[in-house]
Every structure is written in structure tokens, then in C-alpha cells.
């Protein structure tokens, strides 16, 4: 394999953060110092055979500040980079871990390039004791330059593992192995000697999706409701009053909610609001039971609520017909 040429887009987050000292592993945001993409590359150890890289400025913020406006810009930027650099073989996006999986899934559904797009972050700041920042960045660059990574959709590289953007979730607040793909496992690993893949995703992604966002200035409002024992329909009513065109129910496993809330959601579905039933369990499919069908709800399949929200919002830019939207949850 050739060395390759990789563009590194910096968006901020823990991977860019500089704490007060090596032991500042939790409150480093208070230090107010973040490195841009060029500074990250300058500090990242590289081997002689590593891909050539260049930095692309974007932002230096916590990922809690990132939403649709930034997702849209990143999607379009990926296309622009490919258009103006025919030698480009991969793109890396450094990102805070709080919303990394959401950004990754949005790009997985909207980016229209044939080269790998890899997101990475860190669980510890750049100067923290035993920081994972530099190794995660180097591994992401290696994966982005790997020909086998092309066509897999957006990827997430953390803790030596390569995950599909669709499957991956942050499953811990602070552990180095926080990013997992429950029920699926990683696509491969960035080992010391080589990048090794052992499976490919089956769902449609990137070039194979129907979503085009260049002319979309805002996504339709979609709210997520977290089910709890004894819950009523007050939050569902608030979502409806706020103008939600879609609601994702993060229900009890395998996919139900307390009856007072379900009653409000049934009314919402009958009025034309798309209600998608997911689960708060963290993994597993929501089956299309007779009750689900009778309620007029769409199954989220095995998408967690926050990713079901992204797919539903994009789906609503194409159609408001639940019979057309439900197959999207099986296709993507």
C-alpha cells in the first residue's frame, strides 16, 4: 500500500484539549486551551511510512456545541476537499466524544465521497497522563489511508478499534474503551503492524443513500422522549406543541412506553406526526409487533434513540409518509 494523502479536519473536543497539568483528566475544559488541527499534527508522533497529512481548520469547540449546522458544513467540506485535491486518499475528523457518534452517523448518511471518512477523538486530554489522543489520531490517519476502508461509510477509530458509524456508541463516561458497537462488534483493528479488517457493514451508507443536504438550511424538528415507569404524556404534548414533525420514543425494552404517554403518541401519529419506537436498552431490535402497527408507530429497528432521531429528521426531508419512512430504518 502507498503512503496515501490524508486531510485532517479539526473540530475541537478532548483530543484537542490541554489540561492544567498531566493529572487534569476531568476538568480540563476549564483550562480553556484547545489545539487546532495543524497543532495536533505537529505534536503527533509519526513513522517514516505514515501517510502524508495536511490540516484543515474548522473549529475548536466542545462537541456539545455541535449540531446540524456543523454537520452540514462538514458534509459539504468533505466533498469540497475531494473536488480540489484529486490526490486525496482519506479524510480524518477530530471530534469531541460527547456527540462523536451522532456526527459520524450523520456523515455516514450524507457524505458523497468515495474515499474513507474517519472520525476520532480522545477520552483524555492531549497532555494528560496516559493520554490516548496521539495514538487515536495516528491510527485514524492510518485507517483513512487504507484502501480497504473505502466504501465502508463513515468510520470511528478509538482505542485501536475501527467501528461503523451506524453501530458505535459511547458506553462509558471516562474509560479508554468507551466506544463499543453493542451486538455487532468492531469492523477491524488498527494494530501496530497493519490495519486489519474482518467484516464489512451491510446497510446503505454515504454514496448509496438518498439524502442530499446542500439546499437544506435546517432539519425538521424531531424530539426524543425517554420512557420511565409511571411516565405520563406531558413531554409528548410539549414536543407536539413545539412543532415536532417527528418523535422518537426511547421506550422500555423491547419497545413500549407507559400507557398515558403511548395514548398521546397514538394521537400524534394519527395527526401525521411520525412516531418512531426505539428502546432505552442500548442494544437490540424493536420488533414490528401487532401493537406497534396498531399504534401507527414506525420501528427504529436496532438504532438507538439519538441515531433514530437523525435518520428520521433526514427521512422527513424526503417524505412524511410512514410507509416510506419505515423501510429506511431497515435500509440504513
Strand partners, 251: 279
Judgement on whether residues 150 and 263 belong to the same structural domain of the protein: no
* Catalytic residue of the set 11, 14, 89, 103: 14
Structure pTM? Answer: 0.97
SS3 264: helix
Q: What percent of the chain has pLDDT above 70?
A: 99
Whether residue 216 is contained in a domain is answered as no
Q: Tell me: the pLDDT tens digits for 152-182? A: 999 999 999 999 999 999 999 999 999 999 9
Q: Domain span at residue 236? A: 222-331
Among the three residues 175, 208, 241, which one is the final residue of a domain in this structure? 208
Q: How many CA atoms lie within 13 A of 39 on its CB side?
A: 15
Judgement on whether residues 65 and 119 belong to the same structural domain of the protein: yes
Overall average pLDDT of the 34-41 stretch: 96
Q: Tell me: the pLDDT tens digits for 136-152? A: 999 999 999 999 999 99
Chain centroid to Cα 1, Å, comes to 28
Q: Tell me: the pLDDT tens digits for 287-310? A: 999 999 999 999 999 999 999 999
Find the length of the chain: 332
Judgement on whether residues 201 and 236 belong to the same structural domain of the protein: no
Judgement on whether residues 277 and 193 belong to the same structural domain of the protein: no
Whether residue 214 is contained in a domain is answered as no
Q: Tell me: the pLDDT tens digits for 38-61? A: 999 999 999 999 999 999 999 999
Q: What percent of the chain has pLDDT above 90?
A: 98
Structural domains of the chain, count: 2
pLDDT greater at residue 3 or residue 267: 267
Quick one: pLDDT band at residue 2, thresholds 50, 70, 90?
A: low
Dist CA 160 CA 143 (whole Å): 10
Q: What is the mean pLDDT of the chain?
A: 97
Judgement on whether residues 165 and 313 belong to the same structural domain of the protein: no
Looking at residue 203, what is its pLDDT? 97
Dist CA 263 CA 285 (whole Å): 22
Judgement on whether residues 187 and 304 belong to the same structural domain of the protein: no
Judgement on whether residues 51 and 181 belong to the same structural domain of the protein: yes
Looking at residue 256, what is its pLDDT? 94
Dist CA 32 CA 53 (whole Å): 27
Looking at residue 1, what is its pLDDT? 46
Judgement on whether residues 197 and 246 belong to the same structural domain of the protein: no
Give me the CATH number covering residue 290. 3.40.50.40
Is residue 14 flagged as an active site residue?
Answer: yes
Residue 29 DSSP symbol: G
Dist CA 24 CA 137 (whole Å): 20
Overall average pLDDT of the 115-128 stretch: 98
Reply yes or no: is the peptide bond before residue 254 cis, omega within 30 of 0.
Answer: yes
Looking at residue 278, what is its pLDDT? 98
Looking at residue 106, what is its pLDDT? 98
Q: Tell me: the pLDDT tens digits for 247-289? A: 999 999 999 999 999 999 999 999 999 999 999 999 999 999 9
Among the three residues 153, 186, 208, which one is the final residue of a domain in this structure? 208
Judgement on whether residues 251 and 185 belong to the same structural domain of the protein: no
Whether residue 307 is contained in a domain is answered as yes
Judgement on whether residues 154 and 13 belong to the same structural domain of the protein: yes
The contacts of residue 192 (CB under 8 Å, 6+ apart) are none
Contact by Cβ (8 Å): 4, 89:
yes
Among the three residues 183, 208, 233, which one is the final residue of a domain in this structure? 208
Amino acid at each position: 500500500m502507498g503512503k496515501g494523502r490524508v486531510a485532517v479536519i479539526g473540530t475541537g473536543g478532548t483530543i484537542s484539549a490541554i489540561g492544567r497539568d498531566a493529572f487534569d483528566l476531568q476538568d480540563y475544559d476549564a483550562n480553556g486551551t484547545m489545539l487546532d488541527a495543524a497543532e495536533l499534527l505537529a505534536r503527533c508522533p509519526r513513522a517514516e511510512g505514515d501517510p502524508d497529512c495536511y490540516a484543515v481548520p474548522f473549529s475548536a469547540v466542545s462537541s456539545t456545541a455541535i449540531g446540524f449546522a456543523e454537520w452540514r458544513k462538514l458534509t459539504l467540506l468533505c466533498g469540497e476537499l475531494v473536488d480540489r485535491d484529486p490526490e486525496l486518499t482519506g479524510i480524518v475528523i477530530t471530534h469531541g466524544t460527547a456527540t462523536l457518534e451522532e456526527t459520524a452517523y450523520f456523515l455516514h448518511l450524507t457524505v458523497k465521497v468515495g474515499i474513507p471518512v474517519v472520525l476520532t477523538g480522545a477520552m483524555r486530554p492531549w497532555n494528560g497522563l496516559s493520554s490516548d489522543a496521539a495514538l487515536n489520531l495516528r491510527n485514524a490517519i492510518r485507517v483513512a489511508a487504507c484502501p480497504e476502508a473505502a466504501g465502508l461509510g463513515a468510520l470511528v477509530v478509538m482505542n485501536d478499534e475501527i467501528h461503523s458509524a451506524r453501530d458505535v456508541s459511547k458506553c462509558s463516561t471516562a474509560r479508554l474503551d468507551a466506544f463499543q458497537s453493542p451486538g455487532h462488534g468492531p469492523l477491524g483493528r488498527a494494530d501496530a503492524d497493519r490495519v486489519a479488517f474482518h467484516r464489512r457493514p451491510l446497510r446503505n451508507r454515504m454514496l448509496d443513500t438518498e439524502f442530499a443536504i446542500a439546499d437544506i438550511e435546517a432539519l425538521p424538528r424531531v424530539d426524543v422522549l425517554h420512557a420511565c415507569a409511571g411516565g405520563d404524556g406531558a413531554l409528548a404534548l410539549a414536543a407536539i406543541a413545539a412543532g415536532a414533525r417527528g418523535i422518537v420514543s426511547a421506550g422500555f425494552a423491547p419497545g413500549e412506553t407507559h400507557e398515558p404517554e403511548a395514548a398521546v403518541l397514538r394521537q400524534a401519529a394519527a395527526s401525521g406526526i411520525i412516531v418512531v419506537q426505539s428502546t432505552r436498552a442500548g442494544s437490540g431490535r424493536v420488533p414490528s409487533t401487532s401493537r406497534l402497527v396498531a399504534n401507527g408507530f414506525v420501528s427504529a429497528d436496532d438504532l438507538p434513540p439519538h441515531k433514530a432521531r437523525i435518520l428520521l429528521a433526514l427521512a422527513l426531508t424526503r417524505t412524511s409518509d410512514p410507509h416510506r419512512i419505515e423501510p429506511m430504518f431497515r435500509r440504513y
